[in-house]
Homo-oligomer: A and B are copies of this chain.
Amino acid sequence: MNTYIGVDVGGTQIRVAIFPETGSVPIHQERISTRNTNESELDRLVSLISQLWPTEGKVLAIGVAAPGPLDSKAGVIFSAPNIPAWVDLPLRQVLKDRFCVPVALGNDANLAALGEWKYGAGQGHHNLLYMTISTGIGGGVISDDHLLLGEHGLATELGHVTILPDGPLCSCGQRGHVEAICSGTGIANYVAEEIQKGIPTRLPAKPRPTSKEIAQAARDGDALALAAMDRAAGFLGLALANYLHIFNPSIIILGGGVSRSGDVLFTPMKAAMHKYIIDPAYFKDLTITTAALGDNAGLLGALALAQEIQS
């Protein structure tokens, strides 16, 4: 039986899965922690793929999802969170030379979009907008059945778009990005600052509340937590209205921990989208939903990418 190999490199773990030629249920998969003091991360990745290499049939292609920034077209990782040794690493060429099969590399958020499109909440759509909202914010877009990549595969950095000049500081060093306001980090930072100012809340000052705790406190009726969710959701709705004007998708899929906040996020977010939209035509045939694949989105996106280069 011929197979595809999907690889998902994350900040905490590396996953490798063997998929049959058709279908998306792995025949076999393994995960190891990304960091290990004795061996280089690249050696461990290569030896994990070797261990799982099927003894029967042909491996048609390997797809790899990795955290950006990376050039998916050149197959080069510029840098990777938690793997300091991976600087300007030509990972595609390394794996191609070692395993002698076609290899494709993609940004994890782009590949999660591809995974949700092929195997998850976006099946059957032709124009899809995916945003993952957790510690940071990443995005991916399918436009007329094409993954939007740009010249060097650096497109759809949907978290790093300025919506509030001189706004809160972002992880990237800029100010007022969608990520700086609407990510879990942005929500937690806002609440910590408000607590510092003496705004009353049932949330403790220490340990610093997480965005998950803040969403729970909002569902329990805490006024500061509700204000924090309202603020993040309002800006998220503004950002999504911008993205409707830019991409005109038929489905918006929200993934990541913050997307599991429920109505305290979705109700004010949808109200803001309606407030900021320039024409109701953008809501025609539009589905707004949450991601279906959870932690598997990147791995299934890597599979979809491997299938694409092979076809």
Contacts and interface: CB of A to CB of B under 8 A. Distances in A.
A291 B67 CA distance: 36
A154 B154 CA distance: 23
Nearest to A141: B246
A152 interface: yes
Contacts of A241: 162
Given A78-B281, A246-B155, A278-B160, A127 B150 contact: yes
B247 A155 contact: yes
A168 interface: no
Contacts of A281: 69, 71, 78, 152, 154
Interface string A74-102: 00001000000000000000000000000
A248 B282 contact: no
Given A143-B143, A146-B146, A242-B161, A174 B248 contact: no
A39 interface: no
Given A143-B146, A238-B162, A248 B278 contact: no
A276 B150 contact: no
Given A143-B143, A165-B238, A281-B71, A156 B246 contact: yes
Contact of A245 (B161, B163, B165, B242): B161
Contacts of A43: none
Most buried by B among A153, A161, A279: A161
Contacts of A245: 154-155, 157, 160-161
Nearest to A126: B151
Contacts of A278: 157, 160, 172-174
A250 interface: yes
Most buried by B among A71, A144, A285: A144
Contact of A144 (B127, B146, B156, B160): B146
A198 to B, nearest CB: 26
Most buried by B among A127, A151, A163: A151
A248 B151 contact: yes
B246 A158 contact: yes
A260 B102 CA distance: 47
A292 interface: no
A268 interface: no
Interface string A231-245: 000000010011001
A227 interface: no
A246 B157 contact: yes
Closest 3 A-B residue pairs measured CB to CB? A150-B248, A155-B248, A157-B245
Given A155-B247, A163-B163, 10 more contacts: A143-B150, A144-B149, A148-B148, A151-B284, A153-B248, A164-B165, A165-B238, A172-B278, A173-B278, A174-B276
